[in-house]
Amino acid sequence: MDTDVQTYVTSHSHEQGYAGRIEVVTGPTGRRRWPEHVKAAMVLETFRDGVSVSDVARKHGVSAPQLHAWRRAAREGLLPMPEDEALGLVPIVVADGGQSAGGRSDACLALEIGDVRILVPAVFDAAHLGRVIAAVRSAA
C-alpha cells in the first residue's frame, strides 16, 4: 500500500478507529466519449414503439437529458444517422392499389407530417428524402 496517501475518516464519536462502512466506487470517471454510431443506435432505439427514452438511457448508462440532446441533434442533422434507417421512422399507410385509370402504375407515396404533405415518386433518393423529412420535422 502507498505510504504517502493518508485517509481521514470522520465520525460522530470521540473515539479513534474505524468509523463505519467504507465504499469504494469503481467505474468510469469524468466525461465519457460515445462514438457517433453508438449514439445513433441509441437514438434509433428510442423511436421504437413502447420504448421510453428513460428506459433506453438507463439500459446504456446514459442520462436521459443527454439522450434527448442526441435526439435533437439527429433531428437537426447534426448527428449522422444510418441512411437505411432514415425511412424506417416514417409510418406508411396504403390508401389504394396505386393503379391509375389507364391501368398503368403511377406509384406515388404521400407522406403527411403535421399539416405538410410530401409526394414521393416511385423512384427517389433515400438520403435526400431523409433530409427533407428531418427539415420538415424540425420546422414543425
Mean pLDDT of the chain: 74
- Structural domains counted in the chain: 2
- Residue 28 vs residue 84, higher pLDDT: 28
The model's pLDDT over 73-102, given as tens digits with 9 standing for 90+, comes to 988 888 888 764 544 555 555 555 545 445
- Candidate from 5-14, 22-31, 64-73 with smallest mean pLDDT: 5-14
Q: Which three cell numbers stand for residue 36?
A: 457517433
- What's the rounded Cα separation, in Å, for the pair 54 and 63? 8
Q: Which three cell numbers stand for residue 20?
A: 463505519
Same domain, 95 and 140: yes
Q: Which three cell numbers stand for residue 134?
A: 428531418
The model's pLDDT over 96-133, given as tens digits with 9 standing for 90+, comes to 554 544 545 567 778 887 788 888 887 778 778 888 88
Is 4 part of a structural domain of the chain? no
Residues 6+ away with beta carbon under 8 Å from 55:
none
Same domain, 137 and 115: yes
Range of the domain at 97: 89-140
pLDDT, residue 38, reads 92
Same domain, 119 and 136: yes
pTM of the model: 0.45
